[in-house]
Amino acid sequence: MRLRNIRGSQEIISTSRWVVQKPQEQKGCWKQVFGSGHPLHIEVGMGKGRFLMDMAKAHPDIDYVGIEMYDSVLLRAVQKADALEEAPENFRFIRMDARDLPEVFEIGEVDRIYLNFSDPWPKDRHAKRRLTSRQFLERYQKILLPGYQIEFKTDNKDLFEFSLEQIRESGWILDGCTYDLHQDEHMNAGNIMTEYEEKFSSAGNPIYKLITHFEKNDF
């Protein structure tokens, strides 16, 4: 996936109050970043950040961190945050590669992980880049509290079924699964849509969702 560079994006990101600079230095200290004892939820591959900011507004008793690796996309999230009339203070962004998550969050420091409409990386040789691959599940297991959940939404059926397979092979437990989220009253309860979700569902495409957790760490 290649995105064009936007002139000045790095400077804006490096000075934004919404972006945590040198996030590795906050490992184990995220409660101090927010100045609260609230649970910490992260979204990996947050895109333009609307979902994260809507969640922060809806749940002021939870702190949110959005992970995005592309400057041009993170810039849009920063601009959206700056444009909010009454921006909540319980969210922040990080510009980083998700492969480095264990370098930024301590073991058991994260209470929930959201994966929304991740890049499907359709070629087989790129399977390990998918955010629901076994390799990424191992990374999540290093930062997520045992028994706590990952929520994954996509409109890509192949990616969804790949994800279900990876969960089974990795020994994670499936807590919920639907092949048509918006028609599933239980799974759709309290759902906050992303921009992609609105676009795809308005076109008549079903949205797939799963919820999963692991029981304990082996390290």
pLDDT digits (tens, 9 = 90+) for 28-66: 999 999 999 999 999 999 999 999 999 999 999 999 999
Of the residues 119, 155, 175, 184, only one is catalytic, namely 119
- Which amino acid, 206? P
- Has 63 been annotated as catalytic? no
What sections of the chain are H helices per DSSP?
9-15, 30-34, 50-58, 71-83, 101-104, 134-143, 157-169, 195-202
Q: How confident is the model at residue 10 (pLDDT cuts 50, 70, 90)?
A: confident
Tally the C-alpha atoms within 13 A of residue 90's C-alpha that lie toward its C-beta.
Answer: 17
**Per-residue confidence (pLDDT) for residue 192, from 0 to 100:** 97
Q: Are 173 and 212 in contact (CB under 8 A)?
A: yes
| Cβ neighbour number for residue 209 with a 10 Å cutoff | 22
Percent of the chain with pLDDT over 70: 95
Give dist(CA 183, CA 109) in Å, integer.
34
pTM exceeding 0.75 = yes
DSSP 8-state code for residue 204: T
List of domains in the chain:
23-213 (3.40.50.150)
Q: How confident is the model at residue 5 (pLDDT cuts 50, 70, 90)?
A: low
**Per-residue confidence (pLDDT) for residue 2, from 0 to 100:** 45
Give dist(CA 51, CA 195) in Å, integer.
8
